[in-house]
Each structure stands twice: as structure tokens, then as C-alpha cells.
Amino acid sequence: MTQPLTAWHSFSLRKAAPDEPSIGAYGGHPRGIRPSEWPRCAVCGAPMCHMGQLDAGEWLDLGGYARMSLFICHATGGRCEDWDPWKGANRVILHKEIDNSLYDGPPTVRVYRRVLLAVDPPLDELALMMRVKKDGLPMRDALRSLRHDKLGGGAVWLHGDSTPKSVAGQGPMTLALQLTTSLVRFDITPKGMAYVFLDPHDRSPEAGRMLWQGS
Ligand SMILES: [Zn+2]
């Protein structure tokens, strides 16, 4: 019998095999983003670069939304503080519908290599943490085993917990995605990691926040 999924379950992300259904993609040109909707950096005003799009499913709870799109500013070499979840130099957009139409984008933005994504079966991170508590598994080994691209579960921090707080509820936001530079060499510090959180008290399309930490 399969166990019900909890907030402790995470789904490891990997490159989809040929002909395998994908649950999203890193890089390439985003789908369903009209030129008028293309996000611009709130700091420098430049069009942002597309990082990826992930679709909701049992592997990713988007609070009723169907897809999320991720963008980051690469226009100023980090001076816009693109690692900060609140500065507006990166963007998480939630979409009600899945629109796979291709529209033109700004000609000047950097385009990452497109990698279609699939997920592995869920991993129970609570069971892993119980092995730390009861079986003497070193915490650093447990955390190292979670240091990959994944949906849900707990964040593996490189420099301490920076979980954003819900604006309305003041409680912590929920991890939706942990992203590394291994599937696509995103232009954050090599071996850096990015984190996308959702505000459980915010039902708006702006409920997502992204931040990243360098290695
Ligand atoms: Zn910028």
C-alpha cells in the first residue's frame, strides 16, 4: 500500500527521458508569456531572463494554480541583488492555466539551454530525519543526500535558514522548489542553490518568492 503524501515528501527533479511526459522545463523560451507580460527587473528595469516553468501535480502543490514561471535579472551582473526575495530582481509568476503558446520575447535576454524535466518517486524526508535522530545517521550526510533539484520537502541551506516569512500570516513560507546549477548552469554562483517559496496565506499570482545562496 502506498503511503499518503505529506509536506515532508519531496520529488527529485531530473532530465526527462525521450518520449517521457515532462512536468516542466528549465531554460529555453517560456510558454504562454505574452510580450506585454514579460517581467522586468524592479531595480534596473531590464527584461529578466527565463529560468524555468514547473507544472502543478501530485509532485507540486501550487495552491490551485497550474504552473509557475521563474525569471531572474542578469542585466547588471548581480548589482540588482537578484538573490533577494523582496527586491524585485527575480520573479515567480503563478498561472491559472497552462498555456503552451510561444510568443516573442525580448531580443536582448540571455536564453538558457532548454531541459525538459521529470520527477522521481517521492522521498519521505521525515523518515530520513528519523534515521538521523534514531539510527545515528550524520545530519550532514542526510542533508547531502537532499542537495539536488527537488520539489517540496525541506530546504538544504548553504548559509543558514533564510525561509521568507508570509507577509499576511508572519509564519514561514513553504518550499516549492530547490534548484541547483547541475541540470542547467544557471548564472548564480557555481554550486549555488536557489529556493522558491510559496506563501500559504496569499492566493494571488504573486504568492511565490525566490532567493538564492552562493556556495
Ligand atoms: Zn536588474
Q: What CATH number is associated with residue 123?
A: 2.30.320.10
Angstrom distances, CA of residue 57 to CA of 136, 147, 159: 34, 22, 30
- Print the domain residue range for 179: 9-213
Residue 2 lies in a domain: no
Residue 119 to residue 150: CA distance in whole angstroms: 8
Confidence (pLDDT) at 50: 97
Å from CA of 124 to ligand 1 middle: 38
**98-129 pLDDT, tens per residue?**
999 999 989 888 999 999 999 999 999 999 99
CB-proximal residues (5 Å) to ion ligand 1: 41, 43-44, 73, 75, 80, 89
Residue 4 lies in a domain: no
Residue 153 lies in a domain: yes
Å from CA of 186 to ligand 1 middle: 16
Position 112: which residue type? Y
What 8-state DSSP symbol labels residue 99?
-
Å from CA of 82 to ligand 1 middle: 7
Per-residue pLDDT band at 2 (split at 50, 70, 90): low
Report which of 100, 113, 36, 104 is spatially closest to residue 69, judged by C-alpha positions.
Answer: 100
Residue 1 lies in a domain: no
For the chain, how many helices (H) and strands (E)?
A: 2, 11
Confidence (pLDDT) at 213: 97
Residue 3 lies in a domain: no
Confidence (pLDDT) at 34: 94
Note if the pTM is more than 0.85: yes
Q: What is the grid cell recorded at 44? A: 534596473
* Stronger pLDDT, 56 or 168, i.e. the higher one: 56
Judge whether 11 and 122 are in contact, CB under 8 Å: yes
The DSSP bridge partners found for residue 150 are 12, 178
Total tally of structural domains belonging to the chain = 1
- Give the burial class of 108: count Cβ atoms within 10 A of its Cβ; 0-12 exposed, 13-18 middle, 19 or more buried: exposed
Residue 85 lies in a domain: yes
Phi-psi region of 66 (alpha: psi -120 to 50; beta: other; left: phi over 0): alpha
Å from CA of 175 to ligand 1 middle: 24
**156-211 pLDDT, tens per residue?**
999 999 999 998 888 999 999 999 999 999 999 888 999 999 999 999 999 999 99
Residue 150 lies in a domain: yes
Residue 62 to residue 198: CA distance in whole angstroms: 8
Residue 177 lies in a domain: yes
DSSP for 2-66 reads: PPPP-TTEEEEEEEPPTTSPPSEEESSPPSS--GGG--B-TTT-PBPEEEEEEE-BTTB--TT-S
